[in-house]
Structure 1
């Protein structure tokens, strides 16, 4: 098996994200067939076509690697040390109503090393946020600049998609102290994680299970970590060891404030729609 360097893998991740983004742009606004997946969740021909393009590129460049696609599932040997994680269109509902808040994600997971290369492309602003596992960069107009997180915007993106687990991020909206320090945003795409790494968001909060190897979140987590953000699960543990959820903050202070608010809200009784009552 030929050896590859982290730089080679990072360039491939960037190219794969760009290839998927090109398909997403090309099909934007066209009438697209929908493929229903579960209640409230669906894919479109744009998702499928972008994923095919990305997988073809990855398999041609790295035929020995395994691949997991959001739409096509896992292929390749189960015990393969290297696996590419592909989310061809994050924000499908936005896309279908001609809202341009979407991302194209690709990440390489290597056993024993975690995510070693990743990229998130914004198809409509000619931007690709990418990392070789050490640096976090923004490719725009063929040039790269270093990503620099910042809490200055005070904007915190919350993932409000159901189902609602033991701690839904929606509870932060009414948490005493949240509005005094932050302003909530909901873009409904993991592109928001790249924005945390780039200093365009102060933080991102979502619920869910193990996310560090998710096709949706692996690239964004890797970008934030490489950029120097503070990233943990909702329990405060590193994503690789966490029981679930995600708090990605531009700095340790912002992260600490959010974790305190989350912990306080865990003990506040609530019986709103979809929110579990705690005694």
Structure 2
């Protein structure tokens, strides 16, 4: 765990995520300008303002580090050993229609590994954070160790395109599989806050397709799940961020194996 000027990277990630969350919370319900991006995606003034608040914290604490922000893009050396990945408002569409299921993600990739990360829930006030070795949730100023659990049987499945592994894998087909309904209960919140919930024991698992390498959306959640002791792989059971891509993050090995079986079954039926 790197410590610079008396503050660890993990604490800085937590502070930065809290700064972004404060902006998101303060602007909630306002009439916000929208800025079109691509394929129907857009940002609001809350996305931009939250990212500015986060970058202010990171640049003050680590001025020499590179940064990738969802809204501002990449800064610093392209091959930087230390790069912060910032998603200032995950769940923009939810937020724009006054739905509070959103998260604020900040992660530090040092070399190939994420060494510190935080996901803040602007409306509960909780921040899920990790130093890469252990994972915690901070609420009311106190930290509680994260403890994954599959007891809820709730599984979040990301239905947002693209689906690069289709037709071999499509999340909608996973939800329609009788084997899924026999064991799990689907949830779709359209925010990577749900990945942090797997680490916290509030979800049994999370499944998504897509290339997640250096993802501002998923880096923090993956780091939280790993540090909490979840079983985390790509869609084919390979090490996450390699191979076919995607993510299966499960509270335990048994839940992970059951989901992987359903995913591989779908691939076999589609071949």
Give TM class, smaller chain: over 0.9
For 1:161, the equivalent position in structure 2 comes to 160
Alignment of 1:122-201 (within 5 A): 122-165=121-164, 166=166, 167-201=169-203
Partner deviation per Cα, 1:113-147 (whole Å, 9 max, x = no partner) = x0000000000001000000001000000000000
Residue 216 (str. 1) matches residue 239 (str. 2):
no
Q: Is the counterpart of residue 78 in structure 1 residue 65 in structure 2?
A: no
How many Å separate the matches in 2 of 1:6 and 1:117? Answer: 16
Give yes or no for the alignment of 1:108 onto 2:108.
Answer: yes
Matched residues in 2 for 1:22 and 1:227: separation? 26
The aligned counterpart of 1:90 is 90
Distance across 2 between alignment mates of 1:6 and 1:190: 30
Whether the 8 Å contact between 2:3 and 2:9 is mirrored in structure 1 is no
Report the alpha carbon displacement of residue 6 of structure 1 after superposing the two structures with TM: 11
Please say if residues 6 and 132 of structure 1, whose CA atoms lie closer than 8 Å, have aligned partners that are also in contact. no
Counterpart Cα distance in 2 of 1:249 and 1:54:
29
Structure 2: tracts of 5 or more residues without a match: none
1:213 deviation in Å?
Answer: 2.0
Moved more, 72-81 or 162-171: 162-171
Q: 1:204-248, CA deviations, whole angstroms, 9 ceiling, x for partnerless residues?
A: 000001x14210000000000000000000021111433310000
* Offset at residue 173 of structure 1 (A): 1.1
Residue in 2 aligned with 1:118? 117
- Indicate the residue corresponding to 2:268 in structure 1: 267
Runs of at least 5 residues in structure 1 that lack an aligned partner in the other structure: 269-277
Where has structure 1 moved over 4 Å in runs of 4 or more? none
The count of corresponding residues between Structure 1 and Structure 2 is: 267
Q: Which moved more, 1:219-228 or 1:167-176?
A: 167-176
- Cα distance, 1:129–1:69 mapped onto 2, change above 3 Å: same
Go from structure 1 to structure 2 and tell me whether the alpha carbon gap of 1:160 and 1:6 turns closer, same or farther (over 3 Å shift): farther
Instruction: Kindly state the Cα deviation for residue 3 of structure 1 after the two structures are TM-superposed.
Output: 6.0
Q: What is the root-mean-square deviation in Å for CA atoms of aligned residues?
A: 1.5
Query: Which whole-Å deviations, capped at 9, do the CAs of 1:74-95 have from their partners, x for residues lacking one?
Result: 0011122100000000000000
Alpha-carbon distance between aligned partners in 2 of 1:194 and 1:5, rounded to the nearest angstrom: 28
